[in-house]
Amino acid sequence: MTKRDLVLRISSETNLVQQQVLDVVQKTLDHITEALAKGETVELRNFGVFEVKVRKARIGRNPNDPSHDVPIPSRAIVKFKAGKEMRETVIKLSPPPAGTPL
């Protein structure tokens, strides 16, 4: 699903103008990005939590030339943890364990 798909769907369900929906969706994403850039955690109930984590510096290897080590510097990344409601909805997509009758 793209941002455009989301806007169209919300617009049709709420009878709001697409441009208004796009503005709200974009502002929401901008504020989430801004909060994460400040190092804040963003928690959306029943959806999930976005947080900034710092990966430690480490040594990597070039698969084309494994004899040379490549230093990888520490850096900040965004981590997402799905909320309970989302997890329960998505887990229904999982195939049954092997040997379980359908």
For residue 101, the model assigns a pLDDT of 64
Domain assignments of the chain as residue spans, ordered by start: 1-40, 44-92
Report helix angle 3-14 to 18-37, nearest 10.
130
Read off the DSSP letter of residue 13. Answer: H
Kindly indicate whether the domain formed by 44-92 is annotated with CATH number 3.90.1070.10.
Answer: no
Where is average pLDDT lowest: 3-7, 19-23, 43-47, 95-99? 95-99
Per-residue pLDDT, averaged over 1-20, amounts to 96
Is the pLDDT assigned to residue 102 strictly greater than 60?
Answer: no
Spatial CA neighbour of 69 closest among 60, 58, 57, 78: 60
Residue 51's CB is within 10 A of a number of other CB atoms, namely: 15
Q: What is the pLDDT of residues 39-98, one digit of tens each?
A: 999 999 989 999 999 999 999 988 888 888 889 999 999 999 999 999 999 998 888 777
